[in-house]
Each structure stands twice: as structure tokens, then as C-alpha cells.
Structure 1
Amino acid sequence: MAGTGAEAGGRGSPLRGRVAVVTGAARGIGEALAGRLSRTGMRVALLGREAETLHRAAAALPSPTVCVEADVTDRAALDRAAEQVAERFGPASVVVANAGIAVGGPFSRTAADLWQRVIDVNLVGSANTARAFLPQLTRTGGYFLQIASTAAFGSAPMMSAYCASKAGAESFAQALRGEVAPEGVGVGIAYLHWTGTDMISGIDDHPVLRALRRHQPWFARRVHAPAQVADWLTTGIVHRSHYIYAPPWLRWCQPLRPLFPALVGRITRHELMARSGTQLGADTGVLGAGGRADWDAYTAAARPPARPPE
């Protein structure tokens, strides 16, 4: 992947004046990427669940923006969002499926609705995003970027929903790429490693994630700032890269992927055997403020309305 973040934001950037859509843009990587794309001169649509946080993120951006509160699992809401973006700015040239949540804990002790929610947001939500905006990307010969993770390389115990959803999102994007290439639409997959968002703020309290990070080489243990990851992503978007690696050394892990499931299993086995079922169950829950906000909104919407007093 040629170029640097600085080059991607230069006056001659091919992104200048175009329209970008970023889901999960209220915080973390989505917020940082929306800011980076805005500084290239793109007009950016920020989509997310947290209206107040979303508008606060948009207020700091230099180029014109539009905020749309939308749940990526709601196809009708995404269709309306696509209409709003087109009416305000015109058709999108870049769409980033970034919205994602994570849950840690044993599969058997994770509520079925919570496990399903991770799949719905991370995998189905990405497909919904593509479905809503593909007509616009077809018009512009645009680029769809699926945010994946090294969780797709080797599934970690205690993270079954997140790993399954990211592996599924990777596979979805690979299949989509072949379908839309004849129409001039590019599809990229971004593999992110340890990134300093609130999703991993409690990493040292999570036995499996702590063990995995401890056994990695020193350079692989580094936590990268969202701003740095946004620079790598922006460079990949400029070049319409099939694969974006954040950090770049992850590209050399691709040939080794068949080894990772066994390696991850070996590293985590000791941690799991050393902890009782009660201890493991105590580690179950949504990771990060963004994930908790999504789960709270989802459960509130699913709750039956209170009956008026008689």
C-alpha cells in the first residue's frame, strides 16, 4: 500500500470534494476516521446510535458534515440515512462499515440475545450498510471498506461472538468484491490489531485477551492510537486497496493464518484451566462504552411499554 497519511490529505487528494459515510462514527476509530477524511476535504456523513456524542464529533470537523442517528441492524433506518446523505451531499463515493460491538465471556454464560446482538451489529449490520449504499457507490464508482480485525485470523475463547462476526464480515466483503467489481465498485477489508479505543480499555481485566497480548512479540503488543489507525485507513481508501493492515506489518501474518487457531488455543488453555467457572462467568459482559450504549438502546427498545395506571 503506497503513500502516507500526509500524502492522502494533500491538496491533490482524489478524495477532496467527494462524499464519505462512516458508521459507528460517534467514538473511537469511526470518529477518528471521520475526522481524517474530513481533513482531506471530503464531505462526511457520520452514522451512529449516540446522537449527542455523534453531533459532538461532527462539530469538530472542518468540512461540511451530516449526522444521522441510525441502528445498522435496522434496514429501514439505513435506507432513510442513505436518502438523507444523497439529498444533502449527493451520492457517496466512500462507505466505511465500521460499526461494531464486542462481548467477552464464556459462550454458555452469555445471554443468547446479547450474543446475537454482536452478530447482528458486526456482520448483518455491515451487509445492511452495503445494501443501503451500493446504489450510490455504483453511480460514483465508489469504494466500500469493511472494518475487520485480527480476530478473524484466529478465534479466541471467551470472544466467540466477536470472532465469528469479524470472520463472517471478512468473508462477506470478499464475496461482495467479486460481485460488484464489474460495476466499478471497489471493496476493501481492513484488519485492525490492538487499537486504543474504549473497547479494549479493560483488557487487563480480561484473562484471555491479557494472555494473548502477553505472549505476542513486543511489536505486536503495542496499542495504536485511533488517529494513527485512521491515517492507515485513509491511505488505503485513497488507493482503493483490497486489504488494509493496521499496523502494516500484519500483512506478513496472512500466510501464517492456518497456524493461528492452534496457537491461540494453546496460549489460552492455561488461563482457562486456572480459573473456575464462577470466575469465568464474572468476566462476561459488553466491552466498551459504545457497546454498552448500543445494548442499552437495544434493550430499551425491546422492553414493552409501561402500562398506564388504572
Structure 2
Amino acid sequence: MSGSSLDGQVVVVTGAARGVGALLARKLAARGARLALVGLEPDEMKSVAGSLGTEAVTWTADVTDREAMARVAEEVSAHFGRVDTVVANAGVATGGPFLDSDPVAFDRVIQVNLLGSVSTARAFLPALMASRGYLLQIASLAAITPAPLMAAYCASKSGVEAFAHSLRAEVGHKGVRVGVAYLSWTDTDMVRGADEDEALRAMRGRLPWPANRTYPLDPAVERLVSGIVRRSPHVYAQWWLRGMQPIRGYLPSLLGGALARREMRRAEPALARGAGVRRGLVGRGGAADETARASSAHTT
């Protein structure tokens, strides 16, 4: 590919119904890409596909279902004839104290964010090897910086970062490039849902600048698109995230020490007010995941 064009390139985006995935699909289509959209919300994905003005096909699948993802990969390859880029974007989140967390929701974050990314890579890597393509794994500031009240999300995003780095070293000689994308707090349903938790919202607001801001979605996704065009090993959706890399080794001690103890003491009244409240997956995407799982359990 040359310049800023993705003309004719086939790009798979998971978690494509809303937020980062939906806007990413629109921006990729504007660069000439053909899109395969994968997610749990068929109506929302069809709406996204219909708005693209380019060839776009949707597949309804749970990224944690290895067999379903293998079928999707086969069907995408059969339909388009090739796969050039895969963006492993599907993700969910939950927040709050670990011991108060809903174990099912906590485990689901690990399953979708980490094991779902593994299933996505397992399904599509053969096609990417054939095209000498590119896999972009969506990670997070949470992979760089540990944070209280976010144990599941931080663990899952640290996991996908390490998985992508390992995979890059393993498949690079076959012509496949692997990138990791980092996003700070970005204006999505997930972040707005997380902000409904009083303690988490207050603690986030006391983070040092620039980590205490919520950033607009459009410029963040534009940076992702630029990374895809360049097949970059690292993509930073906010400019300052690159500067976190050299100091990340110091962050667990810094944030897990006196600072964390002080902030957790300050959060105790809000945490007490929320005690006993079930903390499920946040945002409309989280609700869609829970609905899809409930429907699947009912039909089986």
C-alpha cells in the first residue's frame, strides 16, 4: 500500500457495533478499505455497514467462541478472497473493589479482552500469513499503568499487550506485522459507563494531568487509522502515551504505594455507599454482551 490509501484492502474489525470499532470502520472505509465487521449486535453493525459507502459485511459472533471465530475467518476469506488487516478491538470492562466485584463479570472481562483477542488471532493468522498482513491489538493505558478499582481491566489489557508482543516476535519472519494500540480515557460508552461509578469517577478525576481527562473519540481513532496505514508496532491514540513507556517500570511502586493508600482512604465513603451493589459490565456494550450471553444460555 502507498501513501494514506487502503484501496481494496480487506480489514476485519471486532467489536464493530459502536465506539472505537464503529468509528474506525468509517474512517477505514473513507481510505478505501473493504470491511468485515464482527460483533454481538447485528442491527447496530448493519447500521454501521450501511453508512460506510464501501463494501462491508457483518458477522455476528462472540470473540471468545473459538469455533465461531474460526467459521467467521473462513467466511471472510471466502467472501473477500483475502484478509489484509485484523483489528482486535472487542472489549468490555467492569470496575470497583475486587472483593465486591461480580465474579462472573470479572471473569468475562478477562475472557473477552484477553482470550477473545487470542481467539481472533488464532482464527485469522493463517489468512494474514498468506497476505503478509497486519494485526493491530487494541490495548490501553491500563496495560502501562496499574490502577485500583480496575483489576480485571488492567489484567486483561496487560495480557493482550504481552500476547501481541510475543506474537510479533513469532510471526514477523513470515511477513506478518503486529501492532499494539494504546488509548487513554476516550469518550465511548464504556468510559461513560465507568464514570457512573462514584468512587471510580472521583479517583480518576484526581489523577495527574493529562491522565485525568476524557479525550474525544475522533482524533484518537484517526491515530489508529494512521497506525494501520503504516503497519506500526506501537500506536498511541493520545500524544502523551508514548512518553509513559520509558517510566512504566516505576509506576507499580509509585501508584501502588502511599499514593494508592491515600486515594483509597479518600474513596472509602463512596465505596461504602456502593457496598452491596452488583458491579456488572459497564456501558451499552457491556449490556449487549450480557444480553447475548443470556440469550445463548436460554437457547442452549
Task: Please report the TM-score for the alignment, with normalisation by the length of structure 1.
Answer: 0.89
Q: Percent identity?
A: 46
Aligned to 2:282: 287
Q: Report Cα offsets for 1:153-198 as digits up to 9, x if no partner.
A: 2222221111110000000001000000010000000000011001
Note if 1:41 corresponds to 2:36: no
For residue 152 of structure 2, what is the amino acid of its counterpart? A
Question: Could you tell me how far apart the structure 2 residues matched to 1:198 and 1:32 are?
Answer: 13
Question: Could you tell me how far apart the structure 2 residues matched to 1:276 and 1:76 are?
Answer: 40
Task: Please report the TM-score for the alignment, with normalisation by the length of structure 2.
Answer: 0.92
Structure 1 residue 278: deviation in Å? Answer: 5.3
Q: Which moved more, 1:283-292 or 1:88-97?
A: 283-292
Note if 1:78 corresponds to 2:69: yes
Note if 1:298 corresponds to 2:293: yes
Note if 1:243 corresponds to 2:237: no
Find 1:56's aligned residue among 37, 47, 54. 47
Find 1:207's aligned residue among 175, 178, 199. 199
Aligned to 1:257: 248
Structure 1 residue 263: deviation in Å? Answer: 3.7
For residue 146 of structure 2, what is the amino acid of its counterpart? S
Structure 1 residue 229: deviation in Å? Answer: 1.5
Change (3 A) 1:127 1:177: same
Contact 1:122-1:169 within 8 A present in 2 as well: yes
Question: Could you tell me how far apart the structure 1 residues matched to 2:152 and 2:219 are?
Answer: 27
Q: Which moved more, 1:241-250 or 1:12-21?
A: 12-21
Change (3 A) 1:89 1:276: closer
> Unpaired segments of 5 or more residues in structure 1?
1-7, 306-310
Question: Could you tell me how far apart the structure 2 residues matched to 1:156 and 1:181 are?
Answer: 32
Q: Which moved more, 1:292-301 or 1:256-265?
A: 256-265
Change (3 A) 1:108 1:21: same
Note if 1:228 corresponds to 2:223: no
Question: Could you tell me how far apart the structure 2 residues matched to 1:91 and 1:275 are?
Answer: 51
Structure 1 residue 133: deviation in Å? Answer: 0.4
Contact 1:145-1:190 within 8 A present in 2 as well: yes
How many residues of Structure 1 are paired with residues of Structure 2 in the alignment?
295
3-state secondary structure, aligned to 1:73: coil
For residue 211 of structure 1, what is the amino acid of its counterpart? M
Question: Could you tell me how far apart the structure 1 residues matched to 2:151 and 2:22 are?
Answer: 26
Aligned to 1:5: none
Find 1:193's aligned residue among 172, 184, 198. 184
Contact 1:207-1:271 within 8 A present in 2 as well: no
Find 1:183's aligned residue among 170, 174, 188. 174
Q: Report Cα offsets for 1:103-147 as digits up to 9, x if no partner.
A: 112222222222111111000000100010001100111000000
Note if 1:216 corresponds to 2:189: no
- For residues 14-163 of structure 1, the aligned pairs below 5 Å read 14-163=5-154
Find 2:267's aligned residue among 266, 272, 275. 272
Question: Could you tell me how far apart the structure 1 residues matched to 2:184 and 2:137 are?
Answer: 14
Q: Report Cα offsets for 1:226-258 as digits up to 9, x if no partner.
A: 222111001111111111111022101111112
Question: Could you tell me how far apart the structure 2 residues matched to 1:159 and 1:299 are?
Answer: 24
Find 1:165's aligned residue among 153, 156, 173. 156
3-state secondary structure, aligned to 1:104: coil
Question: Could you tell me how far apart the structure 2 residues matched to 1:236 and 1:292 are?
Answer: 30
For residue 42 of structure 2, what is the amino acid of its counterpart? A
Contact 1:86-1:92 within 8 A present in 2 as well: yes
